[in-house]
Amino acid sequence: MKRLVLAGAGHAHALVLRALVRQPMPGVEVVVISPEPLAPYSGMVPGWLSGHYRFDEIAIDFPPLAAAAGARWCRGEIHALDPARRQLRLADGSTLDYDVLSLNVGSTLQPPPAEHAQMLPLRPLAMLHRRYEKLLERWAREPADRPFVVSAVGGGAAGFEALLAVLTRLRALRPDHTVHGSLLTRGTRLLPGLAPAARRAAQRALDRAGVTVQFGSGWCTSVDRSSDAVLWATGAEAHAWQRDPVRRGSLAVDEQGFVRIDEQLRSVSHPQVFATGDCASWSGQALPKAGVHAVRMGPVLASNLRAALTVPAAAGDLRVHRPQRHFLALLATGDGRAIASRGPFGAEGAWAWRWKDRIDRHFLQQFVATQATPPHASQPASQPAKSLNPLAEVSARHSGESQ
């Protein structure tokens, strides 16, 4: 039996599992590994930060989704990869062999140490969840006799949306307490890449929220001392194992450590490895680290993984992914409105927030419905999917089969 390992609980892998529910792959063992069972949908994170959604309402629950697809989910995180031996080493020291590996592990951020401010990096989202809960607990105890300052570092969509959302939540929880907001960016303008009308709407949203914007400015000691909480939203970074030549082995990566892939979403150095979303580097052009690209890659990835596990696999069976030149961006402003931007066009209003909310809920609903589907024949309904921790059982079985 061949083994497909889906490493990471990203949007693309959720779509792969959904495809497996509809069309199983007989003779293929599917193992899903991720650090946490709940994988938040990035598009709804600002709504959760502002208090519009609960965390469980914005997350895909991977264990039941994997069970419905006849796959095994386990809690785990990659420590190293040996692509020559087709083996993963996990953070707990266990190893996992694969025939085909798919990476959808997202990206991370490495903020500088802060002495005075509570630091909240916006990636990975599981860490943000824990730290935000601690911030809200602290907020409930904060004395009301002094202003509370929240700063965001980074002038992209993540910093913009997160800052407005957090200000909205804190002010709603304690309207008697003064909260100031500031946004720092090394750039000379806000939200580069968006339509001019959308950028102007963003500035108006910041003005309504009383946020001061400092252009040409980054992290410094004075910001640390003047802030109570810092939302770290600078450019996405590859995980440590991707940046380390020893830990990633001979896997080809770009200058930042992101996995280099071709038009079929395969590693340019190892065709048995696929990568999608933030962890991947698209050949020929830089794609924004945005969830929309992972979602668009999902159906192509599902098709190509199936083709790669077919014996024999025909070269023409692999689909080509064509990234969108323009895509719709919907940015929540925390006040019941959103900004819509696509190509040269931009607009704002409550209608845009309702539109965004409807799109996001529809995307998540497809996985809720999928999780309710009984597991297919390869995963009997009477045997729920196991949490493999450690992975000794599955690794030993695979080793025996391959001999």
101 CB burial (10 A radius; 0-12, 13-18, 19+): buried
Alpha-carbon Rg for the chain, nearest whole angstrom, is 22
Is the pLDDT at 315 greater than 70, yes or no?
no
pLDDT classification of 313: cutoffs 50, 70, 90: low
pLDDT classification of 289: cutoffs 50, 70, 90: low
Angle at which helices 11-22 and 350-371 cross, to 10°: 50
Two tokens, residue 201: 């709407």
Give the residue extent of every domain in the chain.
Answer: 2-107+237-326+364-398, 118-232
> pTM for this structure?
0.87
Helix (H) or strand (E) holding 73: strand 72-75
Q: How many CB atoms lie within 10 A of CB 67?
A: 24
pLDDT, residue 385, reads 36
Q: Do the Cβ atoms of 394 and 388 come closer than 8 Å?
A: yes
181 forms bridges with which residues in the sheet? 150, 211
Among positive and negative, which fits the CA dihedral 189, 190, 193, 195? Answer: negative
Rounded distance, CA 353 to CA 159, Å? 18
Two tokens, residue 31: 């193992």
Segment 1-14, tens digit of pLDDT: 999 999 999 999 99
Average pLDDT over residues 359-370: 86
pLDDT, residue 84, reads 95
- Domain 2-107+237-326+364-398: CATH superfamily is FAD/NAD(P)-binding domain (3.50.50.60)
Please determine whether the domains at 2-107+237-326+364-398 and 118-232 fall in the same fold group of CATH: yes
pLDDT classification of 131: cutoffs 50, 70, 90: very high
Is the pLDDT at 332 greater than 70, yes or no?
yes
Average pLDDT over residues 112-131: 89
pLDDT, residue 398, reads 40
CB burial readout 150-188, b (16+ within 10 A) else e: bbbbbbbbbbbbbbbbbbbbbbeeeeebebbbbbbbeee
Is the pLDDT at 146 greater than 60, yes or no?
yes
DSSP character string of 319-377: PPP---SS--EEEE-SSS-EEEEETTEEEEEHHHHHHHHHHHHHHHHHHHHHHTSPP-T
Q: Which of 118-122, 149-153, 224-228 has the lowest mean pLDDT?
A: 224-228
Q: What are phi and psi of 369, to 5 degrees?
A: -65, -40
What is 118-232's CATH number?
A: 3.50.50.60
Tokens 């045997």 correspond to 383
Average pLDDT over residues 29-54: 96
